Amino acid sequence: METRDILQRLKNNEISIEEAESYFRKKPFEELGDYAKIDTHREIRSGFPEVVYCSNKADEHLIQIYQHLYDQYGEVFGTRATPHQYEIVKEVIPEISYDKISRILKYEKADKKRIGKIAVCTAGTADIPVAEEAASTAEYMGANVERIFDVGVCGIHRLLSKLDTIQSANCIVAVAGMEGALASVIGGLVDKPIIAVPTSVGYGASLNGISALLTMINSCANGIAVVNIDNGYGAGYIASQINRMGAK
Amino acid sequence: METRDILQRLKNNEISIEEAESYFRKKPFEELGDYAKIDTHREIRSGFPEVVYCSNKADEHLIQIYQHLYDQYGEVFGTRATPHQYEIVKEVIPEISYDKISRILKYEKADKKRIGKIAVCTAGTADIPVAEEAASTAEYMGANVERIFDVGVCGIHRLLSKLDTIQSANCIVAVAGMEGALASVIGGLVDKPIIAVPTSVGYGASLNGISALLTMINSCANGIAVVNIDNGYGAGYIASQINRMGAK
Amino acid sequence: METRDILQRLKNNEISIEEAESYFRKKPFEELGDYAKIDTHREIRSGFPEVVYCSNKADEHLIQIYQHLYDQYGEVFGTRATPHQYEIVKEVIPEISYDKISRILKYEKADKKRIGKIAVCTAGTADIPVAEEAASTAEYMGANVERIFDVGVCGIHRLLSKLDTIQSANCIVAVAGMEGALASVIGGLVDKPIIAVPTSVGYGASLNGISALLTMINSCANGIAVVNIDNGYGAGYIASQINRMGAK
Amino acid sequence: METRDILQRLKNNEISIEEAESYFRKKPFEELGDYAKIDTHREIRSGFPEVVYCSNKADEHLIQIYQHLYDQYGEVFGTRATPHQYEIVKEVIPEISYDKISRILKYEKADKKRIGKIAVCTAGTADIPVAEEAASTAEYMGANVERIFDVGVCGIHRLLSKLDTIQSANCIVAVAGMEGALASVIGGLVDKPIIAVPTSVGYGASLNGISALLTMINSCANGIAVVNIDNGYGAGYIASQINRMGAK
Amino acid sequence: METRDILQRLKNNEISIEEAESYFRKKPFEELGDYAKIDTHREIRSGFPEVVYCSNKADEHLIQIYQHLYDQYGEVFGTRATPHQYEIVKEVIPEISYDKISRILKYEKADKKRIGKIAVCTAGTADIPVAEEAASTAEYMGANVERIFDVGVCGIHRLLSKLDTIQSANCIVAVAGMEGALASVIGGLVDKPIIAVPTSVGYGASLNGISALLTMINSCANGIAVVNIDNGYGAGYIASQINRMGAK
Amino acid sequence: METRDILQRLKNNEISIEEAESYFRKKPFEELGDYAKIDTHREIRSGFPEVVYCSNKADEHLIQIYQHLYDQYGEVFGTRATPHQYEIVKEVIPEISYDKISRILKYEKADKKRIGKIAVCTAGTADIPVAEEAASTAEYMGANVERIFDVGVCGIHRLLSKLDTIQSANCIVAVAGMEGALASVIGGLVDKPIIAVPTSVGYGASLNGISALLTMINSCANGIAVVNIDNGYGAGYIASQINRMGAK
Amino acid sequence: METRDILQRLKNNEISIEEAESYFRKKPFEELGDYAKIDTHREIRSGFPEVVYCSNKADEHLIQIYQHLYDQYGEVFGTRATPHQYEIVKEVIPEISYDKISRILKYEKADKKRIGKIAVCTAGTADIPVAEEAASTAEYMGANVERIFDVGVCGIHRLLSKLDTIQSANCIVAVAGMEGALASVIGGLVDKPIIAVPTSVGYGASLNGISALLTMINSCANGIAVVNIDNGYGAGYIASQINRMGAK
Amino acid sequence: METRDILQRLKNNEISIEEAESYFRKKPFEELGDYAKIDTHREIRSGFPEVVYCSNKADEHLIQIYQHLYDQYGEVFGTRATPHQYEIVKEVIPEISYDKISRILKYEKADKKRIGKIAVCTAGTADIPVAEEAASTAEYMGANVERIFDVGVCGIHRLLSKLDTIQSANCIVAVAGMEGALASVIGGLVDKPIIAVPTSVGYGASLNGISALLTMINSCANGIAVVNIDNGYGAGYIASQINRMGAK
């Protein structure tokens, strides 16, 4: 313990008051340097393990990160991985698994305890990759996840027939492209927070997801907040934070 | 009959072939001059009476148009009128009536026969002015109109409880601002054409109706086409054209 | 009949009032589950057969859907198919045909009865793929279709020379990219509903079709409503709904 | 209890099985009609009282709504009220109070029990009206609220000096206009969900809040979701839902 | 003649080579200072008189400019003037005249000779103020102007009936708001340059003229170039330049 | 001569007045059909030969068009051709030539007489492909063209040193990407019409040419009108129309 | 000195090592609280006095801030003040002065020493209010300022005639609306940093300054960086920072 | 010296006054032609060597430019080079070096003296290519550069721990994509000018860097100006200009 050491040495007359004072006069920001080191214990602070954003990472860099996290935590989880990245990581972590749909590259502990429930809903089948990213993230963060796919608003009975399941979740992730109306309809049917994820599914005036994003941001329903287009990971993360509260 | 007259005079040798030929050599576009005149009989051609767009019309101009149409057809109908315009037109057509909500300034024949049915639905109460413009237009064009207001998607039961009425119409006008999801939900529940009207209701990222417009254009449901933001008149017009077919 | 059964058993004292009440207290949404099942008979409800959106469908998935629909209805129709998708579907449905221009992959019953008339017009030759998607969809939905291509507004005589045909249709589909003015000009010449389809044809400030979309949404002509950029299918569908009414 | 009544009358032989059956055969959507009525008990369902969006409400309409909610619940809460609306409501509910900053018009029960904690932070003083709307909403929904204003990122020490308070909340509402970076910085310092509210504060390229909205949607920090520009109410609502979970 | 003077004095040994050299070593930009002075003779250089953009000019400043130009040229011409500006200028130039529609405040010499012909066309009556600004500007610049108003594309016969006049002009100014298709249609009918002026006429998705601007920029017709939204002056100016060539 | 024939036969009593009248009563639009035929003589009408837009043309289609125009006029000119298109056209027209920079594929008569002068200026070297499209088009249309490249505004002396040449042209084509300021600076230095061509040169906030387009549309200089992004052909065309007037 | 005091007391055995340690173990963020206090000495840290953004400040709040700063520094400076704000501040600081053009409300010490030179240039006269905000800010920050107004690029000689003055400045502020090309042209003529300020001057496609902002951001010239639309203050501030370096 | 030569020959009577006068009468713009030539001495004028923008340069052209600059200055520096360009330039300049990350292709003199200090900071690792372009440019321009990467605002302690270094620079370059908040946070911690560089890092609503650009332009901090998206070179250039002043 450095602080105690300084104080002891002062008391022992091994250093002068001036020397001790100089040590403690360090600007607050230097102390923050220590705080930064603590950040390697990020899992302890946030309660969630670190996640790797694989997109555009250099091969050697990616291998190092996977190796490091795997060694430290016994598990590792990355989003937006390519098949090529799967190949190279598999060489160092043979038990790694890759899901082509969600593009998640992970090794997850077998005995992970999951709590609460998050419902991950999609409007169409084309939204499933983003939804799977959200669902897998939430599961890695320790949540039970119910997948309810292809319940878009232009066939409202499909959604209504799943209402019990949706209503019983602590948090709903609503994933939709094109007109993105799913979140609003769910918003009128549940009393739990909804995290809306616009997707880039669609063409023409969907503007690569901007249209769905606007729809969700303008929702007339209560209890809806929105993350970036195709950001399944971000939705899974905040939904896990909320679920953790509800599950307590 | 000018054409016949020329031909008669040719046959009577009152004019030469060259003179007649010169008359008929007129470019096609001159003939269109006659066609243009026919246009004053627009009602006969389209089957619908002419409608006045009152916005920004000069006072004298507006009075003349109202007087002229009223004299010719015994009725007159204008959209986006101001209270001031009501005052000035009332001086020349005392029986004119004005509706503050829809901003429609009209005198309509009492005995107008109406056919078929158009359902005009709104997501919220704030969309009613635009919906009333659509409904009144359709009524003036000779359609029966069912008004179904405040059935937005964030309270889906309200919409579902009106489904019978909506399904029995020849055409549905779906009026919504904010996230504009109403048309998509109705689209999944009916088998008739839906004319979607985005409104400028909302704030922030509603972008004065652009967000609702994009939602409607991107609808995943079948049988939806869209008109301009707040264009109740346009929706009422095309819905009347469709209804007229269905009612035959 | 389950309801009658419950009532009979109550009357027979085989169940208590409380048991009966519990049965009927089921939330309305459970009943909707039954309604959802009816949806497998979608053709009966809308009067139109189901259509496959082939874009980005997984190979196995696409084959299954085609096989299933073909078995059930004796015909099958899909849009935005790739040559590769044609190859794989042909293996299971050898009589399937593929049109490179419209990207439609279909097998259509030979003896289909068609009614009414839809005029599908394009501004230029580059708009033909979208127009063919609309035309083929409408034909599959049972409409007669008249194709009137390359009649853009910068050569107005080409359009005018086809006016008889256009005026005799129950509904016009106007397909145009670049400045997208075709719908407005037709709108002034006919008294039938026009479904306008902006296309992504153009470059620079055409903004991939947004410019044409805006033009059509802002049209000064009556009787025009708009679908998404390049959405030939959507235009063909709603035009068929309208034509069906006019043809009755 | 209508259902029990019918069953009882059947059992009493006062009605026939057919009559009872007819009652229960009502389509699911009719049942939903009942559900809609239940909606007046919205407070019971969502656990939160109804809130009035005063903007653009007609005077008579507003008075009726306030009177009705006040009579039913003994309290009433509205957002975006004008001083004029305060005047007219005060005539029927003299104990109503109005806050010029947040534009909230309410009468709240004195003995309301509050749970948990929500931290409502703003980047600048100009964001306070939106933040107050969020804070007052959350308080009305039963949450304790800590207000931490003017802690924008261009004076990061102000934010850091309040870190203890922020970290101890169940949910943080981050309100910011201009560049809207507040949410990202907080996101790196807490492990609780953050609801980000862009405001229309700023000028020029702030695009009336669109710039701040984009910043927040693109945040690199975990645990952030976004509501509409200036939507303090929406943020307060979803934050209350989250806080309720954390406070259990 | 300063240059000759220096050279003479050098030859006369009145100055040294070094002194002469220093004179001629002046940076080219100093010479440009002289060029700048010539600019006060702008009329001579461009062949067109100077025009005042009245919008937001301070009262005293405007009066000075009008007085100065009137004194120098015997005529003066300003655009976007307010009635108030008319009042204050009239006090110093009693013969000034003001046109409420075009907002032009001018005194023009009675005996101005005009050459050639420019056709100024509008789609609707609401576009007339912008068209009048163009027409009056062109007349002030010395062109004959033919006004052809309300010939929008949704009533194509109106335009066709004026074709002779339009085709006989050296340059056409096509003024249109909303969907702005007028220029394209004219472009297919004439072989002269067309200056297209989008106007802010319209609402909703017209985006204050951006929609019409995009339409015109994307025109499929040959011989069209575009000026800023509502920029009648700019169109009148360049049309006059073109007309002057054609009239030679 | 069909008209004369009818008249003669009437005069000869071979047909009745009614028969003649029926012939002449044909709707104006039928006459327009004839007008359409005249369009194959487009060169005669506009004074300019037809030009092929090669982009995305099917191989067989392109070959046919080139063959047809070459046979009819002895020359042929196309824009936006690919090297592949050059290869296939060369097989049928061996003397065809292709310019990689401008992507123009043409055979031009050797003895073409050129008139007047057009100055085609670019801001940078990256704008040259678009400028060459403009210049070659103008030359094909019969104009003399002066190429003045790489005279962008951030090195103003380069532009000023070419001023004589620019000022002596009948029309200036100003081609620029990035900030697109070239047209404005030239606009202050010449008294001839300037056709401004924004290019998609640039990156980031250049928005593929939208930024340059906006700059040019907003120019404070007189005598500037704008064509679409990268539309060298369009600029060359209208510049040729203007030059033709100036050269008379 | 608190730290020394603690250490002294430890050495004096007045407190234990544990007590001292507890004092120094305070989280770094508490130390930052002290740092925050230092911020009231902001002038000392940045070398520049604090400036008040008056826009939308409540009356009482504004008076307090002005009083406080005036008392503390003997001078006070605010931007975007209204005439009303001038009136109310004048009551407490009678020597305050207000400039209607720049909307600056200030009292500045008479004997302020100014260093270096900043050239503030505008394209037009309508840009002067923003330029004056920049110039007055820079003067308040201690810079000499040269005002060079109305030297827009469409009259390039005006700019060139001022080149000596511009080239002799340490930093140039280039203020322009409409097409905003001024910064690029200056960028090619000087070797000093240029701070470009887009203004909202213009109409139509100027998009309230977005067009000028894009122009400046895309500048092809070296040494240009951009601030927000109409942000004269921001430009004056950073220009003063740069000038201070150059003047050392 | 040409001017002196003319003068001498005049004095020697070898040429007449008229001949001399004719020489000096050349329009100022001709003089500018000389000025243009001086531009090959650009390094002398701006104090910075010329830099090659390699993107899309033709191979032969690029080789020539590199050869020429290398011969003239003994060093050469280009941005946005491809590996292919490296290969071809290496053939003529074997000592050329290429950095894959920054895409810089250069040969730099070994003994270059560097002055002052610029801090180049990035929010994330994905921003490093742009930052390296800035840093290498600044080093080539003669500045010392401190690289401080991956100090984004969602882990504020990382930034704070580097504060000493950042505060000691003459100018800070802040490079960030996604929400782009880095510049604002640094802006509150330093008193030196900050050049903000938005990057296209991100996805969805990052709009290829537009979102980060807007954030930076709207920054609430003082002393920030912005360059184009991904424009590391531009930032390095202006930062070098500023650093040069501070280092004097």
What is the rounded distance in angstroms from the CA atom of residue C55 to the CA atom of residue D158? 52
pLDDT top residue among G175 and G154: G175
Residue among A10, A25, A28 minimizing CB distance to G11:
A10
Q: pLDDT tens digit string along F177-232?
A: 998 899 999 998 898 999 999 999 999 999 999 999 999 999 989 999 999 999 99
Q: Do A28 and G24 touch (CB under 8 A)?
A: no
Which residues of chain E does G160 touch, with a Cβ-Cβ cutoff of 8 Å? 29, 32-33, 36
pLDDT mean across residues, chain E = 87
Q: pLDDT tens digit string along D137-161?
A: 999 999 999 999 999 988 888 888 8
Residue E116, amino acid = G
Residue among A17, A20, A35 minimizing CB distance to G28:
A35
Q: Chains H, C in contact: 3+ Cβ pairs under 8 A?
A: no
DSSP D151: -
Closest CA to A179 of C199, C32, C42, B198: B198
pLDDT number for residue G14: 87
Q: pLDDT tens digit string along D64-82?
A: 999 999 998 899 999 999 9
Q: Do C31 and D31 touch (CB under 8 A)?
A: yes
Which residues of chain C does A157 touch, with a Cβ-Cβ cutoff of 8 Å? 32-33, 35-36, 39
What is the rounded distance in angstroms from the CA atom of residue H201 to the CA atom of residue H215? 14
Question: Could you give the count of Cα atoms lying within 13 Å of F166 in the half-sphere of its Cβ?
Answer: 28
Q: How many angstroms separate the Cα of B195 from the Cα of each of B224, C197, G150? A: 6, 15, 52
pLDDT number for residue G8: 84
pLDDT number for residue A23: 64
pLDDT mean across residues, chain B = 87
pLDDT number for residue H46: 64
Size of interface D-H (CB pairs under 8 A): 118
Which residues of chain E does H20 touch, with a Cβ-Cβ cutoff of 8 Å? 7
pLDDT number for residue D44: 44
Q: Tell me the average pLDDT across B151-158.
A: 85
Gap from E6 CA to chain H (nearest CA, Å):
9
What is the rounded distance in angstroms from the CA atom of residue F28 to the CA atom of residue E24? 73
Q: pLDDT tens digit string along G101-146?
A: 999 999 999 888 999 999 999 999 899 999 999 999 999 999 999 9
Question: F226 to chain C: nearest residue by CA?
Answer: C205
With 50 as the cut, is the pLDDT of residue G155 above it?
Answer: yes
Q: Quick one: A94 exposed, middle or buried, by C-beta within 10 A (0-12, 13-18, 19+)? A: exposed
Gap from E204 CA to chain C (nearest CA, Å):
8
With 60 as the cut, is the pLDDT of residue C27 above it?
Answer: no
With 70 as the cut, is the pLDDT of residue E29 above it?
Answer: no
H helix or E strand, kind and range, residue G142: none
Q: C232 near C199, Cβ under 8 Å?
A: no
Spatial strand order of the sheet with H171-176 comes to G143-148, G115-122, G171-176, G194-198, G224-226, H224-226, H194-198, H171-176, H115-122, H143-148
Phi, psi of H131 (to 5 degrees): -65, -40
Residue among G153, G202, G206 minimizing CB distance to F184:
G153
DSSP A107: E
What confidence tier does B22 reach under pLDDT thresholds 50, 70, 90? Answer: low
Q: pLDDT tens digit string along H35-82?
A: 333 343 344 446 687 899 999 888 988 999 999 999 988 999 999 999
Q: pLDDT tens digit string along B217-226?
A: 999 899 999 9
Q: G151 near G125, Cβ under 8 Å?
A: no
pLDDT top residue among E38 and H243: H243
Contacts 24+ apart (CB under 8 A), B87-95: B88/B59, B88/B62, B88/B63, B89/B62, B89/B63, B92/B63, B92/B66, B92/B67, B93/B66, B93/B67
Decide: helix, strand or coil at residue B50.
coil
Instruction: Please give the structure tokens belonging to residue D223.
Output: 């645990």
Question: D204 to chain H: nearest residue by CA?
Answer: H218
Decide: helix, strand or coil at residue G57.
coil
pLDDT number for residue C22: 61
Q: H161 near A29, Cβ under 8 Å?
A: yes
Question: B28 to chain C: nearest residue by CA?
Answer: C157
Count of residues making up chain G: 248
What confidence tier does D205 reach under pLDDT thresholds 50, 70, 90? Answer: very high
Which residues of chain H does F124 touch, with a Cβ-Cβ cutoff of 8 Å? none
Q: Tell me the average pLDDT across C201-211.
A: 95
pLDDT number for residue G85: 97
Q: pLDDT tens digit string along G192-205?
A: 999 999 999 999 99
Q: Do C4 and D11 touch (CB under 8 A)?
A: no
Sites in chain A below the pLDDT cut of 70:
1-3, 21-47, 248
Q: Is the pTM of this model over 0.90?
A: no
Gap from D37 CA to chain B (nearest CA, Å):
9
Q: Do F187 and G154 touch (CB under 8 A)?
A: yes
Residue among H193, H241, H246 minimizing CB distance to G223:
H241
Gap from C150 CA to chain E (nearest CA, Å):
12
Listed in sequence order, the residues at least 6 apart from H209 whose beta carbon sits closer than 8 Å to its beta carbon are: F204, F205, H177, H198, H199, H200, H201, H202, H229, H230
What is the rounded distance in angstroms from the CA atom of residue B171 to the CA atom of residue C244? 13
Best residue of A25, A27, A29, A65 to probe chain H, by most H CBs closer than 10 Å: A29
Q: F103 near F129, Cβ under 8 Å?
A: yes
pLDDT number for residue G131: 97
Q: Do G39 and D155 touch (CB under 8 A)?
A: yes
pLDDT top residue among B36 and G98: G98
Listed in sequence order, the residues at least 6 apart from H111 whose beta carbon sits closer than 8 Å to its beta carbon are: none
Q: pLDDT tens digit string along A27-85?
A: 333 433 333 333 333 444 466 878 999 998 889 889 999 999 999 889 999 999 999 99
Closest CA to F121 of F194, F221, F208: F194
Which residues of chain G does H237 touch, with a Cβ-Cβ cutoff of 8 Å? 222-223
Q: Do E230 and G204 touch (CB under 8 A)?
A: yes
* Relative orientation angle of helices C232-247 and C128-140, to the nearest 10 degrees: 40
Listed in sequence order, the residues at least 6 apart from C191 whose beta carbon sits closer than 8 Å to its beta carbon are: B45, B46, B47, B48, B241, C167, C223
Closest CA to E81 of E16, E146, E129, E26: E129
Q: Choose the most confident range, by mean pLDDT, from B31-35, D121-125, E99-103, E117-121.
A: E117-121
Q: Tell me the average pLDDT across G78-83.
A: 96
pLDDT number for residue D18: 78
With 70 as the cut, is the pLDDT of residue D39 above it?
Answer: no
pLDDT number for residue H153: 87
pLDDT number for residue G16: 85
Instruction: Please give the structure tokens belonging to residue G70.
Output: 């005036």
Q: Do G217 and H227 touch (CB under 8 A)?
A: yes
Which residues of chain A does G14 touch, with a Cβ-Cβ cutoff of 8 Å? none
pLDDT number for residue D28: 37
What confidence tier does H18 reach under pLDDT thresholds 50, 70, 90? Answer: confident
Identify the contact set of chain G against chain E, taking CB-CB distances under 8 A.
Answer: 126, 155, 157-158, 160-161, 163-164, 203-206
pLDDT top residue among B248 and G38: B248
pLDDT number for residue H22: 62
With 90 as the cut, is the pLDDT of residue F144 above it?
Answer: yes
Residue among F154, F185, F217 minimizing CB distance to G220:
F154
pLDDT mean across residues, chain H = 87
Q: What does the buried/exposed string (b/e) look like for B148-180 if buried means 16 or more CB atoms within 10 Å of the residue's CB?
A: bbebbbbbbbbbbbbbeebeebbbbbbbbbbbb
Closest CA to F207 of E101, C204, C70: C204
Residue among F46, F193, F226 minimizing CB distance to E191:
F46
With 60 as the cut, is the pLDDT of residue E36 above it?
Answer: no
Q: pLDDT tens digit string along E92-148?
A: 999 999 999 999 999 999 888 999 999 999 999 999 999 999 999 999 999 999 999
CA angle F5, F6, F8 (to 5 degrees): 65
Closest CA to C29 of A188, A190, A154, D28: D28
Gap from G204 CA to chain E (nearest CA, Å):
5
What is the rounded distance in angstroms from the CA atom of residue B124 to the CA atom of residue H90? 68
Q: Chains E, G in contact: 3+ Cβ pairs under 8 A?
A: yes
With 60 as the cut, is the pLDDT of residue E7 above it?
Answer: yes
Q: H209 near F202, Cβ under 8 Å?
A: no
Residue among F158, F205, F206 minimizing CB distance to H36:
F158
Which residues of chain A does C229 touch, with a Cβ-Cβ cutoff of 8 Å? 203-205
Phi, psi of F152 (to 5 degrees): -65, 160
Which residues of chain B does A206 touch, with a Cβ-Cβ cutoff of 8 Å? 214, 218
Handedness of CA D230, D232, D234, D239 (dihedral sign): positive
Q: Do C157 and F33 touch (CB under 8 A)?
A: yes
